Amino acid sequence: MSFARATAVNSSEHPFTAEIAEGWDVVGNANGGYLLAIGARAMAIAAARPHPVSVTAHYLSPGRPGPITIDPQIIKAGRRLTTVRATLLGEERPLIELLGSFGDLRSIEGPTRVDAFPPDLPPPEECPRAEYDPARGFPPALMDRLDLRLHPDDARFLGGTPSGDPLLRGWVRLRDDEPMDVFGLLLATDAFPPTIFNANLPVAWTPTVELTAHVRSVPEPGWLRCRFSTRFISGGMMEEDGELWDSSGRLVAQSRQLALTPAG
Amino acid sequence: MSFARATAVNSSEHPFTAEIAEGWDVVGNANGGYLLAIGARAMAIAAARPHPVSVTAHYLSPGRPGPITIDPQIIKAGRRLTTVRATLLGEERPLIELLGSFGDLRSIEGPTRVDAFPPDLPPPEECPRAEYDPARGFPPALMDRLDLRLHPDDARFLGGTPSGDPLLRGWVRLRDDEPMDVFGLLLATDAFPPTIFNANLPVAWTPTVELTAHVRSVPEPGWLRCRFSTRFISGGMMEEDGELWDSSGRLVAQSRQLALTPAG
């Protein structure tokens, strides 16, 4: 099933309806970026604006395959941006709470100054692919829905020898040449393995409290180059900062999530 | 008026009430961090949790001195965290929309690994103070409510010679030895002059679309060391990343805001 279909929203009813599809999960729980993409699609429809500019999700309960509802509410429809909130509801409980501002990225202009570069990566065919391991559950089923290739230096945790540095760089694209749209960027902000896997710390998983994504440009077709890094693991929490660059070498999205670091 | 009093929330009524005090403004508009602090206080009361862990504000309309109302709604009260949304309403319109998760930072534990250092600053007495200039409006009135000292290398824009680098480092504390609490950290995430002032670009102001703050620890008494920087000015927008460190050398908050960069 394509990403577009797996995140489709039926806006002919109120509340809107959608379906968590099978296979976009990590050990049974729908991926956070996948849920964010569904929610943001619903919010963009409600706002009648094509692009999420900044969207924040707080993660409340794990999502399982099946029907969900979304009730976007317009907070303010401004000249450039429309601010919307929404709850993504599973059958029994809220899954994520969302707040975002939506607009048309092509209509916003200003000067350019960029003090950063896309991550330096070997070509995709020289980067190990994280492939779904149904027996262990890691890499998770989500890896069957994407084509995700890790920088060889950052992929060693796959073989049991973490790099020691909470950093993951790599390529990602949707499968079957499906174009990556702005909602695909939201998926990609949470699609890489957790940086903690390279950190050599007694933490088995890092449940996301909150994720904010800024979409800075509509991506050109092709692979995304991504960099996810963590500088502060402290106080029972860590941030994970993401940069997503498109095939034209432009930053297309930035993300930051706050996750808990329970002893594993 | 103390910060505590200027951000006090009356929770005996529903919706809660508060007052935007005089003097916490930038050319007449209440500072974004100040409004965030009022909103987060109201949300923490509603959640019955002492600390904002992650809180996001979308800025809708400028706030002027006078009465406001806040209607925090509990989205989910979990074991560790309570997620709350709220609208901060002025007399005629919504000012900011808020979403956050609240908890007790002292009860969250995990391993520590920090790959960063507080900014290297000369002592406060060797750092120029940004002082309110009532005639020009810049530095703004807010600077009378804080004691904010800039790294000499980053303060040159005050004299009309920007450094060329969108970076601002410095010290900040509340006035009259008022202790900096977790809500003061929220104020501090937006209290420094915009990084664009050092960028040598034709942008006169950078209205905030969205600001997310992660409070990572309760600050120890004393000065905060802060670092605000921007790497991506593109597509009519820029991010501004903040790090706030307390007097014990611990990161106490991280922030990122997305702002527009209209031609000035």
Write out pLDDT tens, residues B175-187. 999 999 999 999 9
A263 or A201, which is more confident?
A201
Q: What is the pLDDT of residue B88?
A: 98
As a whole number of angstroms, the distance between CA A83 and CA A149 comes to 35
Question: E strands, chain A, where?
Answer: 9-10, 16-20, 25-26, 29-30, 51-59, 66-70, 73-77, 82-89, 94-103, 113-114, 146-150, 167-174, 208-215, 224-229, 232-234, 237-245, 251-260
pLDDT at B22 exceeding the cut of 70: yes
pLDDT for residue A164 is more than 90: yes
Query: Residues of chain B with pLDDT > 70: what percent?
Result: 100
Contact between B251 and A234 using a beta-carbon 8 Å cutoff: yes
Helix, coil or strand: residue B183: helix
**Percent of chain B residues past pLDDT 90, beyond the cut:** 92
Per-residue pLDDT of B132-149, as tens digits, reads 999 888 899 999 999 999
Check whether A48 has a pLDDT greater than 90.
Answer: yes
Q: Which of A95, A99, A205 to mutate to probe the B interface, most B CBs <10 Å?
A: A99
Whole-number mean pLDDT of chain B?
Answer: 96
Sign of the alpha-carbon torsion through B160, B164, B170, B176: positive
**Residues on chain A touching B85 (C-beta within 8 angstroms):** 85, 97, 99
To the nearest 10°, report the CA torsion of A46, A48, A52, A55: -30
Q: pLDDT per residue over A30-43, tens digit each?
A: 999 999 999 999 99
Main-chain phi, psi angles of B249, to 5 degrees? 85, 15
A184-237 residue pLDDT tens = 999 999 999 999 999 989 998 899 999 999 999 999 999 999 999 999 999 999
Given this model, what pLDDT does residue B260 score?
A: 97
Interface contact flag, A56 B212, Cβ < 8 Å:
yes
CB–CB of A110 and B233 under 8 A? yes
Q: What is the pLDDT of residue A112?
A: 94
Reply yes or no on whether the pLDDT at A129 is more than 80.
Answer: yes
Chain A residues closer than 8 Å to B232 by CB: 114-116, 216, 251, 254
Distance CA B73, CA B259 (A): 27
Q: Considering only CB atoms, which chain B residues are within 8 Å of A248?
A: none
Q: ∠B7-B59-B47 over CA atoms, to 5°?
A: 50
Q: Which residue has the higher pLDDT, B91 or B166?
A: B166
Name the token pair of B93: 């319109």
The pLDDT, as a whole number, for residue B137 is: 84
**Å between A105 CA and nearest CA of chain B:** 7
Has residue A264 got a pLDDT over 70? no
- Cα distances from B15 to residues A81, A131, B43, B70, in angstroms, run 27, 51, 12, 6
Residues near B184 by Cβ (< 8 Å), separated by ≥ 6?
B3, B37, B174, B178, B219
Could you report the predicted ipTM of this complex, rounded to two decimals?
0.97
Statement: residue A138 has pLDDT above 90: no
| Helix, strand, or coil (residue A241) | strand
Please give the pLDDT value at position A92.
85
Q: With bands split at pLDDT 50, 70 and 90, how would you rate the model's confidence at B204?
A: confident
B200: nearest CA partner in chain A: A113
Calculate mean pLDDT across residues B257-264: 90
Q: What is the pLDDT of residue B264?
A: 64
- Residues from chain B that touch A94, judged by Cβ atoms under 8 A, are 75-76
Q: Are B226 and B262 in contact (CB under 8 A)?
A: no
Say whether A233 and B97 touch across the interface (CB within 8 A): no
CB contacts of A108 in chain B (<8 Å) are: 235-237, 260
The pLDDT, as a whole number, for residue B19 is 98
**A111/B85 touch (CB, cutoff 8 Å), yes or no:** no
- pLDDT band of residue A136 (cuts 50, 70, 90) is confident
CB contact under 8 A, A254 and B233: no
Q: For B89, which residue in chain A has the nearest alpha carbon?
A: A75
| Residues from chain B contacting residue A208 (CB–CB below 8 Å) | none
